[in-house]
Structure 1
Amino acid sequence: MTRSARLTQAMDLLERLDGGAPAKVEANLNAFSPDAAELVLGYAFTDIVSREGIDLRTREMLTVAMLAAMGTAPGQLKFHIRAALNIGVTREEIIEIVLQVSVYAGVPACMNAITAAKSAFAACSV
């Protein structure tokens, strides 16, 4: 099956965020449904994340904050912390985002985010 231009754009952005992720993510989604990568990644990374108005660095900081506040997506949080680091967000900025979560989403969410951040920090050479 040929990739659509929309999915190709999504995968290119995903490659910028984490060079090892695109093939693995696409395979995982397509194992669930042949349309899943197109629908999920096309929507998330082409239709939303690629929009003008907010730069990618800021979008990743917002994503880290939202995922940390949710407290229910540790794998996605670790991925996006690594992605943020890969595109220039500093460890110090990640730390400040995670600490801010404690005020608005609670200490348990902050503690979960600390665990994810420590794991992401250990995995990144940035």
Structure 2
Amino acid sequence: MKDNQHPDTGSRYARGSAIFAETLGLPADAFTASLANVAPRFARYVMEWEFADMVGESSIDARTREIVAITSLAMLGATAASVLRLRITSTLKAGVSMEEVIDIFIQLGVTAGFPIALAAIHAAQEQFNSVELV
């Protein structure tokens, strides 16, 4: 019987972990360890479903995928702020310029409202400052 409390380290999990690390620039082990005592299955879902299946099997290129991610996360507002900042960095890594990121968020002002756009622009500003220090 499979233990549903611990991540499966099979090939799907390993493939997702590699894509996670490549996309986000973070070790998958650190993410998994951060959830080990609370929600280890969730870490497995992220590696297998989000990264191995959704990202790994997508026909959408990384640049487009990251634009979709930051747009969606910005629309979620404060509940997604920390993940938005992380994905702004991965968006830059995927070849989207800082100017394009800001223009994406300005466009959100029309469809999602100015508070959403402004919050996303501030998140981008924070990330740009940290990226420039590297």
Normalised to the residue count of structure 2, the TM-score between the two structures is 0.84
User: Which has the larger Rg?
Assistant: 2
Q: Which runs of 5+ in 1 are unaligned?
A: none
Q: Secondary structure at the match of 1:32?
A: coil
Q: Equivalents in 2 of 1:109, 1:44: separation in Å?
A: 25
Identity %: 33
Q: Equivalents in 2 of 1:52, 1:35: separation in Å?
A: 23
User: Which of residues 27, 30, 33 is equivalent to 2:36?
Assistant: 30
Residue deviations 1:18-65 (CA, integer Å, cap 9, x gap) = 323423211112232332211233111111122232111110011111
Residue of structure 2 equivalent to 1:99: 106
Residue of structure 1 equivalent to 2:69: 63
* Aligned counterparts, 1:1-126, within 5 A: 3-71=9-77, 72-125=79-132
2:25·2:90 contact (CA, 8 Å) conserved in 1?
no
Q: Secondary structure at the match of 2:37?
A: helix
Which amino acid is the alignment partner of residue 111 of structure 1?
A: L
Structure scoring higher RCO (CA < 8 A, sep ≥ 6) equals: 1
1:16·1:87 contact (CA, 8 Å) conserved in 2?
no
Task: Give the alignment's Cα RMSD to 1 decimal.
Answer: 1.8
Question: 4+ residue runs of structure 1 moved beyond 6 angstroms?
Answer: none
Q: CA deviation at 1:68?
A: 0.8
